[in-house]
Amino acid sequence: MKIGGLMKMTLLDYPGKIACTVFLEGCNFRCPFCHNLPIVDSCSSDKMSEEEFFTFLTKRQGLLDGVCVTGGEPLLNPGIFDFLKKIKDLGFNVKLDTNGSLPKKLREIVGLGLCDYVAMDIKNSPAKYSETSGCHKITFDSVRDSIDFLKASEIPHEFRTTVVKEFHTSEDVAEIARIIGKDENYFIQPFRDGETVIQRGLTEFDSEELKELLEEAREFAPKTQIRGAEL
């Protein structure tokens, strides 16, 4: 397992849980606004071995409630099933972050009880998916398959979209909200520029513009919230 970093404690990444966040290297997307370039390119300077990670985790039994497994795209890793099982066997809840492009693996992991919460990114409206994901081989079909699976499943989950002015409009956000539907938890996350963003110079939405996106989304997905910004 290629581990590119570890956040030893977070109160934000796993709803209702005190958790750590482990970053698995590698991704099949290259979203221009991604903050995890070293993780995507498997060149992180904070690498650790699987043995080191589980030594850390064993020492945190009784202190942490859960583990957030993120990336990159965690489901690309061939050892992901064993990795998640080891975490579960230590008594931790698992939150899995995914871009939804590997619906078969997602179904298998949920079916085996290897995660307790799924957070799925929806990068953009279907017509803009390849451009926004930075991967022209990707279509929305696999993403829609994962959306439909999670909506029909009993596992707690959320959908989320990071919004960037160069890639997203209110119409895009409304279309995403229409696809996920009125009963789903949907989070709009404002892009913030930084040193490790894949494409520098992208533009952030201001608070008034975020409010407009929120209103558009809530017409179709009333439970939509803004995450990571004060409105």
State the SS3 of 97-122: EECCCCHHHHHHHHHCCCCCEEEEEC
C-beta neighbour count of 208 within 10 angstroms = 8
Q: Which domain holds residue 66?
A: 3-226
Distance CA 13, CA 7 (A): 10
| CATH code, domain with 26 | 3.20.20.70
pLDDT tens-digit readout, 108-123: 999 999 999 999 999 9
pLDDT tens-digit readout, 49-89: 999 999 999 999 999 999 999 999 999 999 999 999 999 99
The tally of domains found in the chain comes to 1
Instruction: Report yes or no on whether pTM surpasses 0.85.
Output: yes
Task: For the chain, give the mean pLDDT.
Answer: 94
156 is a domain residue: yes
Residue 1 sits at the vertex; the CA angle it makes with 104 and 153, to the nearest 5 degrees, is 30
CB 104 within 8 A of CB 132: no
Nearest 10 degrees: CA dihedral of 136, 175, 205, 6? -60
> For position 45, what pLDDT does the model report?
67
Query: Are β-strands 19-24 and 117-121 bridged in parallel, bridged antiparallel, or unpaired?
Result: unpaired
pLDDT tens-digit readout, 126-138: 999 999 999 888 8
231 is a domain residue: no
Given its phi and psi angles, is residue 95 left (phi above 0), alpha (psi -120 to 50 degrees) or beta? Answer: beta
